[in-house]
Chains A and B, each alone.
Chain A
Amino acid sequence: EPEVTQTPSHQVTQMGQEVILRCVPISNHLYFYWYRQILGQKVEFLVSFYNNEISEKSEIFDDQFSVERPDGSNFTLKIRSTKLEDSAMYFCASTPGTTSGEQYFGPGTRLTVT
């Protein structure tokens, strides 16, 4: 069964460094998303992406964040200058079509900012 994959599974970085989290959504899916889950808290929406444009973003998704689909398979989240509070599990998700709200999640990347 097709799955969303994410790399790396764990990323450790120093405060102020740039990080790029990578995702390969399910093939032929059209919408892509990033969510984060700070330890012990609920899963929070960051951004959705469709047709090479941001479709919706939350107030968390400020100028420090950016997303890109650099090729036909990858979907990336970049954090330009990481802060301690960016430490979280980051989940990528994808949706098959334009009429379905169903989202399929990847296993997540745990980001630790020291």
Chain B
Amino acid sequence: AQSVTQPDIHITVSEGASLELRCNYSYGATPYLFWYVQSPGQGLQLLLKYFSGDTLVQGIKGFEAEFKRSQSSFNLRKPSVHWSDAAEYFCAVGARQAGTALIFGKGTTLSVSS
């Protein structure tokens, strides 16, 4: 079955500390992988995506993610978290072909403490 697992429901990180959000997926075809961020009352903003090539991808707001095929993982990282990063983060997987469904994880809520 196709699925995305985000094992951490809620994470609290101190401002300036590093961050890693975990994502594991199960997908039958070659996956396209995405991280989206949702601030309270806002829509889903695309942080970064992996289609092929270099397994370390850079995104907006200083985020990066690493695709590890052997572990079926696509973890999101940031070296130094800012208070404005507090939001909900969703990992998603989809097919290469347009028009197909993205399958989302349940999300990880990030709180940033001062």
Assess A101 versus B36: contact at CB under 8 Å? Given A42-B105, A43-B44, A107-B42.
no
Contacting B at CB under 8 A, from A48-100, are: 48, 50, 55-56, 58, 91, 93, 95, 97-100
Known: A42-B107, A43-B90. A95 touches B42 (CB 8 A): no
- State the interface size on chain A (CB cutoff 8 A): 31
B interface bracket (residues with beta carbon within 8 Å of A):
20 to 34
A residues near B (Cβ < 8 Å) are 4, 6, 30-31, 33, 35, 41-45, 48, 50, 55-56, 58, 91, 93, 95, 97-108
Q: What are 12 of the A-B contact pairs (CB < 8 Å)?
A: A42-B105, A42-B107, A45-B102, A45-B103, A50-B98, A99-B98, A101-B51, A101-B94, A101-B98, A103-B102, A105-B44, A106-B43
Task: Using CB atoms and an 8 Å cutoff, list the residues of chain B in contact with chain A.
Answer: 32, 34, 36, 42-46, 49, 51, 90, 92, 94-107
